[in-house]
């Protein structure tokens, strides 16, 4: 996977995580307490600057009280330019 696609994927996932968190009206600091993931790390994930591990994704899903499937079920548009 090229860097552009990786960047798009991380940003899409991060936006989805932030949307889920905001829907539940949970701040970064509260989610940090609920899932034992540093708020700075959550912020980086939401901004698309960090790729979460499977363990982190499970912790986030548990903190949000949603199935892991819901966390990873997000829209991702592959905007790779045609060659």
Report the pLDDT value the prediction gives residue 77, as an integer from 0 to 100.
Answer: 73
Look-up of token digits 């901004």: 47
* Rounded alpha-carbon distances, angstroms, from residue 52 to 37, 82, 83: 10, 29, 31
Compute the distance between CA of residue 69 and CA of residue 34 in angstroms, rounded to an integer: 19
Enter the DSSP assignment of 65: T
Please give the CATH number for the structural domain made up of 3-72: 1.10.260.40
Q: For residues 34 and 2, what is the distance between their CA atoms, to the nearest angstrom?
A: 34
Q: Could you tell me the pTM of the whole model?
A: 0.89
**Cα distance between residue 28 and residue 20, in whole Å:** 12
Pick out the chain residues at pLDDT < 70. 78-83
């Amino acid at each position: 996977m090229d860097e552009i696609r990786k960047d798009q994927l991380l940003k899409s996932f991060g936006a989805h995580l932030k949307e889920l968190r905001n829907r539940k009206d949970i701040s970064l600091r509260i989610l940090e307490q609920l899932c034992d993931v540093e708020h700075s790390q959550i912020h980086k994930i939401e901004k698309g600057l960090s790729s979460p591990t499977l363990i982190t994704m499970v912790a986030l899903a548990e903190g949000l009280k949603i199935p892991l499937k819901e966390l990873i079920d997000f829209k991702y548009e592959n905007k790779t330019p045609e060659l």
